[in-house]
Structure 1
Amino acid sequence: MFLLMGINEMGFEVFEEMLDYGDELQIEVYELENGTVVIDAGVKAQGGIGAGIYLSRLCMSDLADIQLAPCDIGGILLPGVQVATDYPAVSCMASQCAMWQIKADKYFAMGSGPARVLAGKTRDLYEKIGFEEFSDIGVIVLESNKLPDEKVSASIAQKCGIDPADLRIAIAPTDSVAGLVQVSARVVETGLHKLFTMGFDINTIKSGWGRAPISPITGDATNCMGSSNDAIIYGGETYYTLLYEDTEELQRYLKGMPSSASRDWGAPFYQTFKAAGFDFFKVDHNVFAPAKVVMNEIKSRRTFVCGKTDHEVLMESFHLECLDSSV
């Protein structure tokens, strides 16, 4: 795969652009003593939808078109996010997928973005999609309710093989507007990740499009983790173009791909998580997938559809309270 510049360089350009619009995005910027620059998009800063769009662009190394889009949930219009990419394997899996657990002393965060490839996290993934990168700069997005310090940034930089002064960090918690936007922007990636765990060759996917509603802030970080997952599980719709000659095998994969193929489908994720004792290992991970999937196989010119949305579960998960305006 040929890109004009490395994904960390592309992420760095988005980061710099974010700095230029800092006031408009309602973010806060600070520099650690070791030179790492940090953008706070929701921990102490106000942040917002615009900051969330920028976080999403960072996560995907700016290899996707990301826009706001309306989503109708049971007759109620809510903001949603729409994602389109012609580099699905790289933008979604090599960069956006949050598969890096950042641990330093008592600090914990989930990391995504182009710096993941420098640290070689999920090396088998990079080998299977045939992607690697060497860079002197690194860009990472953290999902956490605590700002990183020098120890955290030094640990990340060391794993990336770069100087802490060449590391750029953007952060937002799950229970923030910006954080919820960037979770919904994972709708295309969630589908690719599900296929990857099923043993599917995601290199056959040539483009991806998706849309998901943006969850309102529904409570604390755990509640918002549940509702933001539900935005994709029950409201996420995706469309992929791919080259896959064995269309019968493709249909078998597709039938197992949507979230409705999971035994845990049908209730808000927070309820499922609570019933599992808040233990992720007791949750059926097959539920982490878009609600509806469309696949257009280019060679056969056939298009297959599977899955379904569930607006009733979304209304419950989002805590939508419909009032009678005549009262």
Structure 2
Amino acid sequence: MEPLNRLATELIDEAIDFADELAIDVYTLEGDAAVVDFGVDVPGATEAGLLLAEIQTAGLATIQTAVADAGGRPRTHVELSTDHPALALLCASKGGWELSVDGFEGLGSGPARALSPKSRSTSRRATARLPTSRC
């Protein structure tokens, strides 16, 4: 299996290619880094949200919307399924990477989180029984 970041990068490239259709925006920063806005300063869309969730799981989960009755009314909800829960949910998307930049504080998640030194112990525990680990 490819490393999680490589799997996610392929999906990010797809998002960039279809930015107009997804109602997202792409900003290039100094040093050629790209920031993809899925809904902060742009409207975003349901398909954009589904693709973002797929990126967050490094493409190792299937994410879709469905409609079911809740409280006597039809409600749209999100369904996620994966054959790789340790990789998709713990290694690729678990939050908790503390970020602080220019007065902004937040939590990072997604496949890049596997690069954080603090996440490596979680990755080791989550993948200890897997035949090969690609966190």
Give the TM-score normalised by the residue count of structure 2. Answer: 0.89
The equivalent residue for 1:53 is 50
Asked if 1:83 corresponds to 2:75, the answer is no
| Offset, 1:88 | 0.4
Contact 1:59–1:95 under 8 Å retained in 2: yes
Contact 1:126–1:132 under 8 Å retained in 2: no
Give the alignment's Cα RMSD to 1 decimal: 1.4
| Offset, 1:52 | 0.6
Distance 2:105 2:66 in 1: 32
Distance 1:45 1:119 in 2: 29
Asked if 1:32 corresponds to 2:29, the answer is yes
Q: 1:71 is paired with a residue of what secondary structure?
A: strand
Contact 1:98–1:112 under 8 Å retained in 2: yes
Asked if 1:62 corresponds to 2:59, the answer is yes
Contact 1:27–1:47 under 8 Å retained in 2: yes
Distance 2:31 2:115 in 1: 19
Displaced runs of 4 or more, over 4 A: none
| Offset, 1:98 | 1.1
User: C-alpha deviations, 1:178-234, integer Å up to 9, x for none?
Assistant: xxxxxxxxxxxxxxxxxxxxxxxxxxxxxxxxxxxxxxxxxxxxxxxxxxxxxxxxx
Contact 1:22–1:28 under 8 Å retained in 2: yes
Distance 2:114 2:36 in 1: 21
| Offset, 1:76 | 1.3
Q: Which amino acid aligns with 1:82?
A: E
Structure 1 residues 88 and 124: alpha-carbon distance in aligned structure 2, compared to 1, 3 A threshold: same
| Offset, 1:123 | 2.8
Structure 1 residues 71 and 97: alpha-carbon distance in aligned structure 2, compared to 1, 3 A threshold: farther
Structure 1 unaligned residues grouped into runs of 5+? 134-327
Contact 2:97–2:116 under 8 Å retained in 1: no
The equivalent residue for 1:205 is none
Structure 2 unaligned residues grouped into runs of 5+? none
Contact 1:117–1:132 under 8 Å retained in 2: no
The equivalent residue for 1:157 is none
Distance 1:79 1:37 in 2: 32
Give the TM-score normalised by the residue count of structure 1. Answer: 0.38
Q: Which amino acid aligns with 2:105?
A: F
Asked if 1:128 corresponds to 2:125, the answer is yes
| Offset, 1:120 | 2.6
Q: 1:96 is paired with a residue of what secondary structure?
A: coil
Contact 2:38–2:48 under 8 Å retained in 1: yes
The equivalent residue for 1:21 is 18
Contact 1:96–1:114 under 8 Å retained in 2: yes
Distance 1:56 1:121 in 2: 23
1:291-310 to 2 correspondences below 5 Å: none
Q: 1:23 is paired with a residue of what secondary structure?
A: helix
Determine which structure has the larger strand proportion and give its number.
2
Q: Which residue of 75, 86, 111 maps to 1:114?
A: 111
The equivalent residue for 1:98 is 95
Q: Which amino acid aligns with 1:27?
A: I
Distance 2:40 2:115 in 1: 26
| Offset, 1:108 | 1.9
Structure 1 or 2, whichever has the larger Rg, is: 1
Q: Which has the higher contact order (CA 8 A, sep 6+)?
A: 2
